[in-house]
């Protein structure tokens, strides 16, 4: 402040005092800030980011601000007094020179590198202007992350600024300063990587992550208790939030007495019974294990043994349909038990209506802290071997629910079609726990494969959000009418790569774009998702996009990423292709009773996804495929999925029909691996080679063996059954 005028110093201290009345700012890393001048690069969430940042910084900051705002009649006197540096596209060099001079004079200069406010809470594209300032001043660059401002009065959450009530006063904010980067080190990819890592550090300290899942559900269901929580699309019955909480609480008390073991199996499709059972198990302080009843018997038995299950919750109607299921020694049939519990249900329903959530929690004897304790157990699909137990903690589920809540930014009238099975990680988090905690209505249906019935439910209940896999979208293209899906605002797909022709055909038929997302069971599961592009608040203003065809979207908040060499593990630029590693509160702590396989994928909090990926300069994540779906032939990495797409287009096979081909790699003495094409349709080898040659596919990529099969093995989720496909390919 030595070179500042008295007016500047007065404004600085008055502004700081007013800001501290409204905001309680906690900082991380402020002790590592350079003592000389440097360039500060923060994320940009609200209109008052500059005030919050100044509260956190121990020294005065000089901000670079767009000329349009600097010249504003009301703001100009204050911005000029604060020593802000105006910048516009026509005379950018003047601002760059002025900023460099201030840094050389020992001052802190701040530039918001995104160039505009985030409309989604996600980090936008970083503009290159900061590199010129850093090089001209030969200055260090310090990335900084401001957390928990999304959702505040001055953010765009809900699609609007200023017209929201503040969530709390004083408003708590966490700000993390990163390690200083030299000017030549501070390239776009490096700064983005640092900002994502700082965002993860901040997010992982949020108090909600320490809560117990049951308490979060109680709080969510206590809000607007008379509103409908779910509609069971099978029989069109409904449950209000309070009644759902009452039924689940009564069942929880029963389970506490009946189930001494800490894990309880669930064999129920999406519906009233499935939601009640899962919620009741959590309210009883137990761990739900939703079993994949579509799996082979040996896979189910493996999962039951690993989980140590002796009790399973189901229904008689389900038991009749699942003929070869290995039932545990005790089976609780809800359709027989709940009618006999009517007095207890009415009692707990009344309690759910009149008692505060904290008292209800005490009556149910729930612990206050959940944090890193196991909350639920899922099993991987077993597509490449025996199913692995993925123990997700309270921290994982609450973290991913809160991350997804930011991404979805749900509306008061939101209705989610919930037909994905709860043993599927996406179905579990996004169509079970997310609606309970965030108070979003769901319409359930037992099977996502029955497209006609699901489409009828979308039309009848005006569903606004639908989750699917590409396999399920194929069924909608054949069996649903365009007017049935008119109410949908979001169609999100995951589990496998979205073929462009399916996305195009769906949009042409229904007038709804399909947004691709990405996640894994081990990540609870959401990592990234494409979203509709924000609508600017002022017509004609450019707003950075939130979706990009071919990508899996932008990262959810609170997740950091690195790209590493698949073989050596050496770190690469985010813009290069390599193994994707992620870190965040949603990352699991390890496989159930399997420290060896856990150590293979977890290192220092980082999780090896097994997928090859890269980021573009706008921050969109592109997944090039599972490493297990590449073959190394003659030292070259050959992608199976890309060859499949080339074959489908080259031979003009219908990609919208059921899966008809699969490429598999088998051991080969001469070149390491050889490619085998599994096909459920007749393919001529000569015609195949000619088509791939015309598509300029390298000779190395052309399958040498074609094996005709009746059907390509797939799992219930629509994913390729890699285990069975490998067996068939090896036999060929």
243-302 pLDDT, tens digit per residue, is: 999 999 999 999 998 888 899 999 999 999 999 999 999 999 999 999 998 888 888 999
How much is the mean pLDDT over the chain?
A: 87
Give me the pLDDT at residue 8, please.
46
Nearest C-alpha neighbor of 377 from the set 289, 310, 313: 289
What residue spans define the domains of the chain? 6-187+195-201, 547-627, 634-731
Nearest C-alpha neighbor of 116 from the set 126, 101, 106, 107: 126
pLDDT digits (tens, 9 = 90+) for 348-361: 999 999 999 999 99
- For residues 434 and 403, give the distance between their C-alpha atoms in angstroms, rounded to a whole number: 10
Q: How many CB atoms neighbour CB 539 within 10 A? A: 6
Query: What is the average per-residue pLDDT within 110-115?
Result: 87
pLDDT at residue 513 is higher than 90: yes
Q: How many CB atoms neighbour CB 351 within 10 A? A: 18
Tell me what percent of the residues of the chain surpass a pLDDT of 70: 89
CATH superfamily for domain 547-627: Luciferase; Domain 3 (2.30.38.10)
Q: What is the CATH number of domain 6-187+195-201?
A: 3.40.1130.10
Beta bridge pairs of residue 562: 581
Asked if 230 and 221 touch (Cβ cutoff 8 Å), the reply is no
Which CATH number does the domain 634-731 belong to among 1.20.1440.230, 3.30.300.30, 3.30.160.100, 1.10.3720.10? 3.30.300.30
pLDDT at residue 2 is higher than 60: no
Q: Which residues of 129-146 are buried (b: 16+ CB within 10 A; e: fewer)?
A: bbbbbbebbebbbbbbbb
Query: What is the average per-residue pLDDT within 372-380?
Result: 95
- For residues 24 and 340, give the distance between their C-alpha atoms in angstroms, rounded to a whole number: 52
pLDDT digits (tens, 9 = 90+) for 405-448: 988 888 889 999 999 999 989 999 999 999 999 999 999 999 99
pLDDT digits (tens, 9 = 90+) for 645-663: 888 888 888 766 677 888 8
**Band of the pLDDT at 162, cuts 50, 70, 90?**
low
547-627 has the same fold as 6-187+195-201: no
pLDDT digits (tens, 9 = 90+) for 452-511: 999 999 999 999 999 998 888 988 999 999 999 999 999 999 888 888 888 999 999 999
Give me the pLDDT at residue 1, please.
46
Q: How many CB atoms neighbour CB 710 within 10 A? A: 5
Asked if 723 and 299 touch (Cβ cutoff 8 Å), the reply is no
Give me the pLDDT at residue 14, please.
52
């Amino acid at each position: 402040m030595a070179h500042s005028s008295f007016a500047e110093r007065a404004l600085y201290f008055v502004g700081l005092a007013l800001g501290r009345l409204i905001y309680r700012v906690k900082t991380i890393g402020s002790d590592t800030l350079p003592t000389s001048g440097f360039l500060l690069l923060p994320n940009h969430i609200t209109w008052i980011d500059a005030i919050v940042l100044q509260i956190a910084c121990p020294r005065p900051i000089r901000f670079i601000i767009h000329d349009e705002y600097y010249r504003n009649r009301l703001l100009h006197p204050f911005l000029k007094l604060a020593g802000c540096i105006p910048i516009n596209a026509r005379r950018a060099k003047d601002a760059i020179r002025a900023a460099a001079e201030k840094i050389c004079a020992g001052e802190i200069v701040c530039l918001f590198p995104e160039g505009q406010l985030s409309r989604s809470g996600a980090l936008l594209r970083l503009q290159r202007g900061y590199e010129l300032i850093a090089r001209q001043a030969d200055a260090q660059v310090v990335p900084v992350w401001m957390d928990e401002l999304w959702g505040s009065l001055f953010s765009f959450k809900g699609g609007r600024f200023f017209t929201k009530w503040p969530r709390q006063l004083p408003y708590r904010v966490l700000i993390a300063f990163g390690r200083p980067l030299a000017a030549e080190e501070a390239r776009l990819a490096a700064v983005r990587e640092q900002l994502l890592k700082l965002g993860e550090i901040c997010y992982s300290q949020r108090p909600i992550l320490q809560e117990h899942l049951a308490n979060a559900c109680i709080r969510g269901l206590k809000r607007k208790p008379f509103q409908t929580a779910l509609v069971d699309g099978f029989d069109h019955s409904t449950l209000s939030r309070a009644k759902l909480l009452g039924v689940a609480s009564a069942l929880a008390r029963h389970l506490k007495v009946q189930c001494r073991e800490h894990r309880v199996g669930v064999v129920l499709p999406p519906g009233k019974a499935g939601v009640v059972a899962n919620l009741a198990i959590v309210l009883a302080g137990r761990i739900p294990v939703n079993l994949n009843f579509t799996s082979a018997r040996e896979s189910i038995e493996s999962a039951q043994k690993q989980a140590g299950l002796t009790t399973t919750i189901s229904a008689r109607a389900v038991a009749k349909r699942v003929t070869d299921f290995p039932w545990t020694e005790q089976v609780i049939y809800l359709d027989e038990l709940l009618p006999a519990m009517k007095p207890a249900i009415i009692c707990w329903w009344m309690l759910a209506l009149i008692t505060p959530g904290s008292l209800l929690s005490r009556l149910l004897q729930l612990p206050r802290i959940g944090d890193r304790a196991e909350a639920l157990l899922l099993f991987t699909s077993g597509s490449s071997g025996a199913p692995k137990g993925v123990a997700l903690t309270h921290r994982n589920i609450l973290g991913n629910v809160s991350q997804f809540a930011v991404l979805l930014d749900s509306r008061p009238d939101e209705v989610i079609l919930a037909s994905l099975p709860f043993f599927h990680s996406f179905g579990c988090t996004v169509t079970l726990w997310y609606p309970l905690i965030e108070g979003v209505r769901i319409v359930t249906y037992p099977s996502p494969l029955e497209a006609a019935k699901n489409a009828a439910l979308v039309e009848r209940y005006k569903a606004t959000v639908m989750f699917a896999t590409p396999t399920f979208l194929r069924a909608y293209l054949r069996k649903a009418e365009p007017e049935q899906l008119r109410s949908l605002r979001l169609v999100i797909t995951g589990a496998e790569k979205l073929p462009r022709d399916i996305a195009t055909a769906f949009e042409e038929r229904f007038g709804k774009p399909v947004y691709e997302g990405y996640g894994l069971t081990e990540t609870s599961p959401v990592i990234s998702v494409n979203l509709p592009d924000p609508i600017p608040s002022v017509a004609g203003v450019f707003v950075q996009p939130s979706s990009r065809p071919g990508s899996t979207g932008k990262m959810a908040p609170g997740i950091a990423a690195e790209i590493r060499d698949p073989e050596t593990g050496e770190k690469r630029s985010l813009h290069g292709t390599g193994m994707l590693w992620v870190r965040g509160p949603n990352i699991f702590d390890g496989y159930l009773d399997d420290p060896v396989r856990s150590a293979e994928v977890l290192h220092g909090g980082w999780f090896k996804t097994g997928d090859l990926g890269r980021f573009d300069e706008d921050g969109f994540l592109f997944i090039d495929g599972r490493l297990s779906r590449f073959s190394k032939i003659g030292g070259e990495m050959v992608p199976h999925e890309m060859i499949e797409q080339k074959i489908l287009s080259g031979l003009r096979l219908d990609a919208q029909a059921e899966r008809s081909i699969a490429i598999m790699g088998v051991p080969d003495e001469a070149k390491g691996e050889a490619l085998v094409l599994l096909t459920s349709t007749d393919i001529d080898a000569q015609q195949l080679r000619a088509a791939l040659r015309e598509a300029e596919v390298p000779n190395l990529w052309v399958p040498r063996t074609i094996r005709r099969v009746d059907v390509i093995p797939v799992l219930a989720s629509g994913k390729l059954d890699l285990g069975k496909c490998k067996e068939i390919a090896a036999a060929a």
